[in-house]
């Protein structure tokens, strides 16, 4: 009786069938299910022609070996993997696959299976020396790595030979198989053109065309695990983290060590007997099993909110806050009484706070964020604290314009550096530069002689006296010369500009 073989999508995409035929491992009729044809056609329409190339290679090899190919159209609309297993079971055939999970499923169902895939000559582990932060593989390009530490690394080419698509496909298969075999492996995100994997300590991002212009694999691995003491924090900061801080932002540019510091903070709170959980995307912190790590991608914000609210952690570390839903979830949990630590991309310390403006009410920001820790090149570069006060913001002269304002202070010196307030319908983030305080006071005294309402702002070497448009004519032309003289003494270029008053906004 003639043997029957049924290849699945993975076998065609990997191109293993011609070799199996030439080696004599496939000697009978080959059945190709319509669900497999449909799947490889859909992928080809999205720019992935691996399956089409594999089918073409199969036809050539089968013709040379005089092996018949039959296309099976049974009218089913099943997914390709269940369809080929059903066909193999019905005709007592052998499933040919390059997918480790498919072969296990077939064996569990009592279906004969032939597992074959091209060998992978590239191994991610081989690229990671002690000082390698990340590995960057792309088809048609030699492999590169980042060597060094956060803020002090070099992008280094480690081979002269460009990588082929087949080599990278083999690496991807190797990664996915290890995820299934490894206890610490997670498939965080699976899309048609991208996959995000956490494999032990590796965070791996895989992209395919048409999302990227070629297959690309980026693998990142923490090169060090630090404790809070390794950052030499001031005793004043340790005291605040222990006793007062419950809405913390860890901010910094990409690759500067934010997550490493967050990990150290988790260990610090755990050592203090606190219940700590993390919310990550993906889960790449290296933490003890006592700390539960939740995936933001595995469920909805509503479910995460319910779980964290009911499980009552002392602190939740929210790694990689990105979109508006993340900010809202962080705010909701903090206002519900959960201690929150958020990790956020920001190029300056004040940018971290500004990213909350417009997402939550201004008056709630100090209740949500009380401490901002800015990480630069793996060190504690700046620490801010936030408070809400009622005052006349700097630059608004009249006392009746007093309003709630968020004051942002340098934690170590206590010096106020920024004020955030609403004037009309606009929110202003005003830097309080002490070196310009005298200039502000001089210009305010001058402007008060001529304008009922005004505001003074200084940007680098330029000063603006902002007044409602109807008051512009109140300054005599002859006084402009005096204003210019004042500006020269202060080392500033001074201009009077129109600005709508709060009443006119409303």
The DSSP string of 262-298 is: HHHHHHHHHHTT--EEEEESS------TTSEEEEGGG
User: Global pTM?
Assistant: 0.66
- Are residues 429 and 350 in contact, defined by beta-carbon separation less than 8 angstroms? yes
Strand pairing of 315-321 and 292-295? Answer: unpaired
505 — pLDDT class (breaks 50, 70, 90) = very low
CB atoms closer than 10 angstroms to residue 292 = 16
Give domain 4-115's CATH number out of 3.30.70.890, 3.40.50.1010, 3.20.20.70, 3.30.930.10: 3.40.50.1010
431 — pLDDT class (breaks 50, 70, 90) = confident
Q: Is the pLDDT of residue 407 over 70?
A: yes
Q: Is the link from the previous residue into 501 a cis peptide, with omega within 30 of 0?
A: no
Q: Which of 237, 244, 249 is nearest to 369 (CA)?
A: 249
Burial class of residue 424 in the structure, from the number of CB atoms within 10 Å of its CB (0-12 exposed, 13-18 middle, 19+ buried): middle
User: According to the model, what pLDDT value does residue 344 have?
Assistant: 94
- Are residues 342 and 221 in contact, defined by beta-carbon separation less than 8 angstroms? no
User: According to the model, what pLDDT value does residue 184 have?
Assistant: 67
| Domains of the chain, residue spans | 4-115, 124-220, 228-431, 434-505
User: According to the model, what pLDDT value does residue 130 have?
Assistant: 78
User: According to the model, what pLDDT value does residue 139 have?
Assistant: 93
- Are residues 391 and 404 in contact, defined by beta-carbon separation less than 8 angstroms? no
Q: State mean pLDDT over 257-277.
A: 93
What tens digit of pLDDT does each residue of 296-327 get?
A: 878 888 999 999 989 889 999 998 898 889 99
User: According to the model, what pLDDT value does residue 504 have?
Assistant: 45
377 — pLDDT class (breaks 50, 70, 90) = confident
Q: What is the CATH number of domain 434-505?
A: 3.30.300
CB atoms closer than 10 angstroms to residue 468 = 18
Q: Reply yes or no on domain 228-431 having CATH 3.40.50.300.
A: yes
Q: Is the pLDDT of residue 182 over 60?
A: yes
User: According to the model, what pLDDT value does residue 371 have?
Assistant: 96
- Are residues 378 and 369 in contact, defined by beta-carbon separation less than 8 angstroms? no
CATH topology of domain 124-220: Beta-Lactamase (3.30.450)
């Amino acid at each position: 009786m003639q043997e029957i073989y049924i290849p699945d999508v993975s076998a065609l995409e990997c191109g293993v069938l011609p070799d199996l035929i030439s080696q004599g491992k496939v000697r009978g009729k080959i059945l190709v299910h319509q669900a497999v044809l449909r799947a490889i056609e859909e992928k080809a329409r999205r720019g992935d022609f691996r399956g089409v190339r594999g089918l073409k290679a199969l036809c050539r090899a089968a013709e040379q070996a005089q092996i018949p190919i039959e296309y099976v159209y049974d009218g089913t609309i099943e997914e390709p993997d269940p369809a080929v297993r059903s066909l193999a079971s019905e005709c007592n055939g052998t499933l040919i696959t390059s997918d480790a999970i498919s072969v296990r499923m077939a064996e569990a169902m009592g279906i004969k299976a032939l597992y074959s895939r091209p060998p992978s000559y590239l191994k991610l582990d081989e690229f990671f020396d002690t000082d390698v932060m990340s590995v960057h593989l792309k088809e048609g390009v030699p492999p590169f790595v980042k060597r060094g530490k956060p803020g002090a690394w070099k992008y280094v080419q480690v081979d002269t030979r460009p990588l082929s698509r087949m080599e990278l496909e083999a690496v991807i298969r190797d990664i996915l198989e290890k995820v299934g075999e490894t206890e610490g492996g997670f498939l965080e995100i699976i899309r048609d053109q991208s996959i995000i994997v956490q494999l032990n300590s590796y965070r791996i991002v895989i992209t395919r065309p048409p999302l990227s212009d070629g297959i690309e694999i980026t693998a990142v691995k923490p090169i060090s695990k630090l404790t809070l003491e390794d950052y030499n924090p001031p005793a004043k900061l340790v005291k605040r983290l222990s006793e007062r801080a419950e809405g913390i932002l860890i901010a910094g540019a990409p690759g500067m060590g934010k997550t490493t510091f967050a990990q150290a903070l988790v260990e610090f709170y755990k050592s203090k007997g606190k219940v700590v959980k993390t919310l990550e995307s993906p889960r790449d912190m290296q933490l003890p099993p006592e700390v539960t790590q939740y995936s933001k991608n595995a469920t909805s914000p509503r479910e995460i909110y319910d779980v964290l609210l009911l499980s009552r952690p002392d602190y939740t570390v929210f790694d990689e806050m990105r979109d508006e839903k993340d900010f809202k979830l962080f705010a909701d949990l903090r206002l519900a009484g959960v201690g929150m630590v958020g990790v956020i991309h920001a190029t300056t310390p004040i940018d971290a706070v500004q990213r909350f403006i417009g997402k939550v009410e201004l008056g709630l920001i100090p209740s949500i964020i009380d401490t901002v820790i800015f990480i630069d090149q793996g060190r504690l570069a700046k620490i801010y604290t936030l408070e809400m006060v009622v005052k006349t913001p700097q630059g608004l002269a009249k006392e009746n314009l007093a309003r709630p304002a968020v004051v942002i202070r340098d934690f170590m010196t206590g010096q106020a550096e920024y004020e955030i307030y609403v004037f009309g319908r606009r929110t202003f983030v005003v830097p309080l530069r002490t070196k310009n305080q005298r200039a502000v006071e001089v210009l305010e005294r001058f402007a008060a002689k001529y304008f009922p309402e005004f505001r003074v702002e200084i940007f680098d070497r330029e000063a603006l006296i902002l007044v409602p448009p109807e008051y512009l004519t109140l300054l005599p032309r002859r006084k402009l010369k005096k204003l210019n003289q004042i500006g020269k003494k202060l080392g500033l270029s001074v201009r009077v500009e129109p600005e709508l008053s709060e009443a006119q906004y409303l």
